[in-house]
Structure 1
Amino acid sequence: MDFVTMLLVLPFVFLTGFYVLRSKNSKLPPGPYPFPIIGNLLQLGRNPHISLAKLSKTYGPLMYLKLGSLKTIVVSSPDMAKEVLQKHDQAFTGRFIPVAAEALDHHKLCIAYLPVGNEWRKYRKICREQMFSTSRLDASQGLRQEKLEKLCEYVRKCAVSGRVVNIGEAAYTTTLNLMSATLFSTEFAQFDSDAVQEMKLVIGGYLRVIAIPNLADFFPALKMIDPQGIKKESEIYTAKMLSMLDDIINQRVKSRDDDHSSRNDDLLEVLLNPTQGNDDYDLTREDIKHFLTDLLIGGTDTSADLVEWGMTELLRNPNKMSKAKDELRVVIGENNRIKESDISRLPYLQAVMKENLRLHPVVPLLVPKKTEVDVEINGYMIPKNAQLVINAWAIGKDPSIWSNSDSFEPERFLNNKIDYKGQDFELIPFGSGRRICPGLPLASRMSHLMLASLIHNFNWKLEPGVKPEELDTNEKFGLTLHKVVPLKAVPIIL
């Protein structure tokens, strides 16, 4: 048989083999038939969250795909999400670890990828007790208020000079400084400075390479080759972040040696002095660097995206903006600044954020899980070591759940008790169950505060020639959902 004939015959051989295997394992969920070798990879497209949502309309809310050699289960409905995240939670506690996350062994010390066990529980305990508990967050309100005032001061300067504000960059700077102050008692960036760009390059670069479809993930035999250079690029960003944190720790240790009475009220101080917190917090220097990397990366990009998308939708819908501003004026008062305790008295603002999260979930496909054992769901067998993907974006756009699902309608949440804190599976942008995003309490407070401050203290107009209904809402898929075209608007002092 000559080479050309072999090339023509091989695909049919692969397909025949697949059909035979599929018939033997007919309890797999339905899904599109894969191409030889590559499986369903070509069907993912540039925006997998959208492509998978379209496929689910044909094959159902529990769908099977073969991505290279990787068995993948896609969940696209609240009922199926509840099955895997609540009823069968024990079977899905594992994480699918992308090759990019293995750079410098980060996955071995990363709370997002650690298996559920003693190490994972230790990090979750630190997050709960030292970062995200109600008492801790209440005690650190002044810090967030300080960052909000700096944001408003920057926007006010832009208003005086008639300058355009890049909403995403301003929100990113605010959130980055909040996280760095909480973790290290320092600010990493200034508005309109190169430092913001440098830090965003590192964090954004890391998030980008983690989200790139990697052949080495789909074909483990290619792992050592790293054909796309993704792991190598991830190592560059990871090394930069760890080096930066190494310098911060060195400076802190030196300052404490020089002045034994000097102590900071931040997480680094707790981690370096476990006796101040709890003996269970005893971490090595490497543990601390990787843990702080997780918190810094996970807590910065997402909140900034939320604020940018929220402002985009309000500027596209001037009547919704007016309702939000009217509520703030009545509840807060025209010349008063918003406080965290006010959020509970602002139902329309809360509805705006819920609708924002429905349309633009922070992580559209959540963080992929891995099945620990074979498990049967709705009569279908989910095989061990399969990747489980939950399409939060598709659930938020499902017209059978949400009327006018593509429209921005905060009013739908005014007489609706659905929330995004993991109990209502129609809206799970932060996940649910034991592996729900630990930073949800802080992200919720900060995103509400930033959005409210921007709309309460300023009026906004779009750049010349841009109409509200023409504002770009195209999405750039990644680990987080970015706007393709950054939102820019001109603030006006009230």
Structure 2
Amino acid sequence: MDVVHFQELFSATVLFFIIRFFISKLLKPHPPLPPGPKGWPVLGCLPLLGSMPHASLAELARRHGPIMHLKMGTCDVVVASSPDAAMAFLKTLDHSFSNRPPGAGPTYIAYNAMDMVFADVGPRWKLLRKLANLHMLGAKDFGDWSPLRHKEVGLMVRDIYELSQQWKPVPVLELVSCALANIIGQKSISRRVFTAHGEESNDFKSMIVELMRLAGLFNIGDFIPAIEWMDLQGIQGKMKRLHNKFDALLTKMLEEHMKTAHERKGSSDFFDIVMGIKEDDGVALTMTNYKALLLNLFIAGTDTSSSTIEWAMAEMLKNPSILNLVQAEIDTVVGKNRRLKESDIPKLPYLQAICKETFRKHPVVPLSLPRVTSEPCEVNGYYIPKNTRLFVNVWAIGRDPELWENPHEFNPERFLSGKNANIEPRGNDFELIPFGSGRRICAGIRMGIAIVQYVVGTLVHSFDWKLSDGVEIEMEAAFGLVLGKAEKLKAMAIPRLEPNAYEDSSS
């Protein structure tokens, strides 16, 4: 065989093996999709979700498994309903599932995802997270503005005390939301949002509740993009109108804030710092980013925490023995001559257990904010296609009888001893992830836990609570992005501290 023929044969052989390699790769079957229900034509599994999607998906997971695939419209969706499944997606594959999918909420409410919650991971998102952690939500800075929280909670206590003297029922959610909005407002833009609870604060709260309700709906247009323009459910139109109201309010707040910047020399607030940064590593923030970030702070800082606090109070009114036990614990540590302080909380394990149990039984974000995978991947032997949307069913994990004994009971003692004693809601124990986990964990997790513990502790220490005659407590939930109580809690408060403890909000 001459050299030319040998070279031709060698080249042909190499080409043959290259072609066979790529054909084998193309023809090699990937692992199966996770199991899941069969859906309807065109709509897929959207009609199976019902009015309480978290509960419907939990029931489907009992049949199909903790990693479940659904076709919703034209979109692939995977739902994780166990701690191991959640850890696989949020820890092992965190990098792949780090972005949010497009949708009406990010587009029409969050300024086309120009905020911190819905933005894709990238330079702008990293800058917003860094600023929030450095100047508002990080451990050091959060501790520095503890006196502000103590004062605002004191003003709330004073309002409750005045209602108690008139023997009027306390609208718990309204008063708590008002206090939390004022805390966020003072830290972020140096102003109390409301000087008093009432019609103005109710309007603001109603706007937030409506926003969270709309953002939690499964919008058909999000899952069948070809018909998105038709807005069949009217969700997008409602979002646009609500966005305009919020935009006008946020614009006014930030414009007034800029006009008074000269008055805060040497005592800058959060937005003084943020708006003073013209550029960071090539990223320049705009007024749209500022408004989107302020909206994030008000939403995350008020509605989620106030709803959790309302659920905790409702459970204790339903279980008076729990209320008595936590009051006795706080009395031992604090006494009755002053109000509870945040620095007291580490000495109050039963109070902490009550808050953990509320996070478990009543996670206010029952389905974690969706993520989307940027590449195909495998999870526990299942194939997950590119652009698959991920939901973690936090509600289902918290009510799984294999994880929790008598999961439908409100039992704080489960966190004081036994297998659950060391579980914390901070994103590392996947049995309890009310704030999510991984790089997209809620930026305000530290504030969320501390505020819930502090306000719940203050309410039960400062007052005895009872329902008005003939009133029964209802525990039905209203679905949205936040799972709040359908019937808002109103209860009678009876002062239980020395009178001087109610006189000065700073005491």
TM-score (norm 2): 0.88
Select which of 270, 275, 279 maps to 1:272.
Answer: 275
Residue 489 (structure 1) aligns with = 491
Classify the secondary structure of the residue corresponding to 2:466.
Answer: strand
Alignment of 1:69-468 (within 5 A): 69-103=74-108, 106-256=111-261, 259=262, 262=265, 264-274=267-277, 283-415=285-417, 416-466=421-471
The answer to whether the 8 A contact 2:110-2:292 is kept is no
One-letter identity of the residue aligned with 2:326: A
Equivalent-residue separation in structure 2 for 1:402 and 1:252 (angstroms)? 48
Question: Contact 1:362/1:481 (CA < 8 Å) preserved in 2?
Answer: yes
SS for the counterpart of 2:112 is helix
Residue by residue over 1:217-253, the C-alpha shift from the partner in whole angstroms, topping out at 9 and shown as x without a partner, is: 1211112222223222212222222222222222233
Query: Residue 53 of structure 1 aligns to which amino acid in structure 2?
Result: A
Cα separation, 2, equivalents of 1:269 and 1:377: 45
Number of aligned residue pairs: 465
1:420 to partner: Cα distance:
0.3
Offset at 1:26? 7.0
Once residues 478 and 108 of structure 1 are traced to their aligned partners in structure 2, the CA distance between those partners, rounded to angstroms, is: 19
Alpha-carbon deviation of 1:201?
Answer: 2.6
Q: Taking structure 1 as reference, are residues 333 and 255 closer, same or farther at Cα in structure 2, changes over 3 Å only?
A: same
CA displacement at 1:342 relative to structure 2: 1.1
- 1:212 to partner: Cα distance: 1.9
Q: Name the CA distance, whole Å, in 1 between partners of 2:283 and 2:155.
A: 33
Q: 1:440 to 1:281 in 2, by over 3 A?
A: farther
Deviation at 1:67, TM superposition (A): 1.4
CA distance in 2, matches of 1:70, 1:32: 14
* Structure 1 Cα separation of the partners of residues 109 and 266 of structure 2: 31
Counterparts of 2:257 and 2:460, CA distance in 1: 38
* 1:50-65 alignment, distance < 5 Å: 50-65=55-70
The AA in structure 2 aligned to 1:411 is E
Partner in structure 1 of residue 73 of structure 2 = 68
Counterpart of 2:125, as a letter, is W
SS at match of 2:229: coil
Amino acid at match of 2:429: D
Tell me how far 1:120 sits from its aligned partner. 1.0
Letter in 2 for 1:217: D
Report the Cα distance in structure 2 between the residues aligned to 1:217 and 1:242, rounded to whole angstroms.
23
CA contact (8 A) 1:70 1:386 kept: yes
Calculate percent identity across the aligned residue pairs. Answer: 35
Provide closer, same or farther for how the CA distance between residues 263 and 249 of structure 1 changes in structure 2, counting only shifts above 3 A: farther
SS of residue paired to 1:460: strand
Deviation at 1:105? Answer: 6.8
Alignment-derived partner of residue 37 in structure 1: 42
- The superposition leaves residues 318-354 of structure 1 with CA deviations (integer Å, 9 ceiling, x where unpaired) of 1111110000000111222111111111100000000
After superposition, the CA RMSD in angstroms is 1.9
CA distance in 2 between counterparts of 1:97 and 1:158 reads 46
Deviations 1:380-427, CA, capped at 9 Å, x for gaps: 101110110100000000000000100000000012100000000000
- What are the superposed Cα offsets for residues 108-152 of structure 1, whole Å, 9 maximum, x if unpaired? 312111111111110110111011111111110110001110110
1:365 alignment partner, SS class: coil
Residue deviations 1:144-163 (CA, integer Å, cap 9, x gap) = 00111011001100110000
Deviations 1:255-301 (A, max 9, x none): 34xx57756531121122238x9888852222211211121122110
Which structure: larger Rg? 2
Aligned-partner residue type, residue 161 of structure 2: R
Does the 8 A contact of 2:213 with 2:479 survive in 1? no
Answer yes or no: is the 8 Å Cα contact 1:271–1:282 preserved in 2: no
Q: Structure 1 CA distance, aligned partners of 2:424 and 2:136?
A: 22
SS of 1:489 mapped into structure 2: strand
Deviations along 1:65-93, one digit per CA (max 9) or x if unpaired, are: 11121211010000111111111111111
Distance 1:223 1:429 in 2: 31
Q: Distance in 2 between the 1:280 and 1:390 partners?
A: 34
Q: Quick check: 385-394 or 295-304, which moved more?
A: 295-304
Distance 1:164 1:285 in 2: 42
Structure 1 residues 260 and 200, CA, compared in 2 at 3 Å: closer, same or farther?
A: closer
The code of the aligned residue for 2:277 comes to P
Which consecutive residues of structure 2, in runs of 5 or more, have no partner in the other structure?
1-28, 497-507
Q: For the Cα contact (< 8 Å) 1:302–1:480, is it kept in 2?
A: yes
Structure 1's unaligned 5+ residue stretches are 1-23
**1:354-396 CA-partner distances (Å, limit 9, x unpaired):** 0000000120001011011111111110111011010000000
User: More deviation in 193-202 or 56-65?
Assistant: 193-202
1: CA distance between counterparts of 2:409 and 2:112?
Answer: 39
State whether residues 172 and 301 of structure 1, in contact with CA within 8 Å, keep that contact through their aligned partners in structure 2. Answer: yes
Partner SS state of residue 426, structure 2: coil
**CA–CA distance in structure 1, aligned partners of residues 258 and 203 of structure 2:** 25
Bigger drift between 396-405 and 34-43 goes to 34-43
